[in-house]
Structure 1
């Protein structure tokens, strides 16, 4: 897990900086949702591929083979990628489209020549900005929710409904969950529509979209009650929450590019990722302790007993977490304000 975390920690800061380099602000939410969908594709393949690798060659080999694919991709990326100003695959019209924000906000944004020579903002300097803490607020609790569902969905299916993660029904349920979560690609386009059709600035359009996404997780409040009818109800609901989360996170990532110079995008994204990791750690540890306690004491909550009562509590926290995070972001950064070096 530690090695995985070290490798993953560099991925999203680099990816967000690249979207800031290759897309104007109005398109970054959609672009982020597209590359972010790679996580769902991996999750769709995992229930079929990983158990097979583990059964044939052992669980250690499943880690090694999947990890090796990452090194192959890294080699391809190093060979193919270049900044748009230097890339032979970007023509003059495309470059003009990419740099349209500089033409619109010439008084607020740096010129191309300034971008090339700009020095990065230090981590400590970034922490003095309210915009950085808005990104932290947007990642801390929502990331905990997402990683809870990612880690605990197989356990939930087993604990409540009795299907193991390698059973046919268990695999089908998890596959359906992540298939639904891929609707986030559609959700990533909403800020682009607000900016292009409604004439809103990128931050206002993104906040409007994120407020809409924050309402979808509220259906998690009825996941457990409906689950007494059929296990498909909570699975579909978790999938919808996952899609809302990925749409949310795509725009939280893009907020960094909206308000910080490109030289600071990776740094602030890394800070946000660290806050999300801490939130994930606390959310999962506390959930595990709650499940152990609820199972041992057979506690009751809203008509549920034992571990089902514990899941009901977690579903409630997960459902309300996005609206709370949105309010904190709005309080910290009520309107669009660009950070200048």
Structure 2
């Protein structure tokens, strides 16, 4: 008699699929926040034009593409759960860094690092050198987008590997279609 037993996959795998869907949805929401807010909120504060926004988004795409080249190997090296956790942690830090770009811009330009979110907007409005505001804020947003891109690059390799680990072959395509719907 064989010592190998066949295990029936549990329904827990569908909970994993829902979590992958949620992670992918958050991944894409974090990515889109800048495009939804830059024209009405960010551009007036930092004096951005279409070129500034275009440069930030183009660099994000490059960082993301390069990050994808290494993310799969990282997830393999760390193990799926740890690799995915690191990816989520890194992209979460990147998302949070966006919120502090205003405070950092006002701190760099005025020396006042304790202004808070609303106070930093007022301090930036008092700075007369708009080119300094633009270059400082764009640089800080590029850094935040870099961190976000490196973390987000781990989502798809980790989700695909998780699907392979938790789902039998007959359910993998369906599971992948469910969590990948979070990208739309």
Taking structure 2 as the reference length, the TM-score comes to 0.64
> After superposition, where does 1:38-53 map in structure 2 within 5 Å?
none
CA–CA separation in structure 2 for the residues paired with 1:213 and 1:157? 25
Q: Corresponding residue for 1:266?
A: 173
Q: Corresponding residue for 2:53?
A: 170
Residue 255 of structure 1 deviates from its aligned partner by 0.9
Residue 215 (structure 1) aligned with residue 106 (structure 2): no
Q: Corresponding residue for 1:180?
A: 63
Q: Secondary structure at the match of 1:231?
A: helix
Q: Secondary structure at the match of 2:154?
A: helix
CA–CA separation in structure 1 for the residues paired with 2:58 and 2:144? 14
Would the aligned equivalents of 1:176 and 1:236 in 2 still touch at CA under 8 Å?
Answer: no
> After superposition, where does 1:230-245 map in structure 2 within 5 Å?
230-245=137-152
CA–CA separation in structure 1 for the residues paired with 2:180 and 2:37? 26
RCO higher in 1 or 2 (8 Å CA, sep ≥ 6)?
Answer: 2
- Structure 2: gaps of 5 or more residues: 106-136
CA–CA separation in structure 2 for the residues paired with 1:214 and 1:147? 12
Taking structure 1 as the reference length, the TM-score comes to 0.37
Residue 247 (structure 1) aligned with residue 154 (structure 2): yes
CA–CA separation in structure 2 for the residues paired with 1:149 and 1:235? 14
Structure with the larger helix share: 2
Would the aligned equivalents of 2:56 and 2:141 in 1 still touch at CA under 8 Å?
Answer: no
- Structure 1: gaps of 5 or more residues: 1-105, 110-125, 195-204, 281-341
Deviates more, 1:155-164 or 1:206-215: 155-164
Residue 258 of structure 1 deviates from its aligned partner by 1.4
> After superposition, where does 1:195-210 map in structure 2 within 5 Å?
205-210=79-84
Q: Secondary structure at the match of 2:100?
A: helix
CA–CA separation in structure 2 for the residues paired with 1:266 and 1:134? 15
* CA RMSD of superposed structures (Å): 2.9
Count how many residue pairs are aligned between Structure 1 and Structure 2. 143
Q: Secondary structure at the match of 1:264?
A: helix
Q: Deviations over 1:34-60 (max 9, x none)?
A: xxxxxxxxxxxxxxxxxxxxxxxxxxx
Quick one: structure 1 residues 174 and 161, their matched pair in 2 at CA, closer, same or farther if it must change by over 3 Å? Answer: same
Residue 130 (structure 1) aligned with residue 12 (structure 2): yes
Residue 193 (structure 1) aligned with residue 77 (structure 2): yes
26, 41, 44: which one aligns with 1:145: 26
Quick one: structure 1 residues 219 and 271, their matched pair in 2 at CA, closer, same or farther if it must change by over 3 Å? Answer: closer
CA–CA separation in structure 1 for the residues paired with 2:101 and 2:85? 25
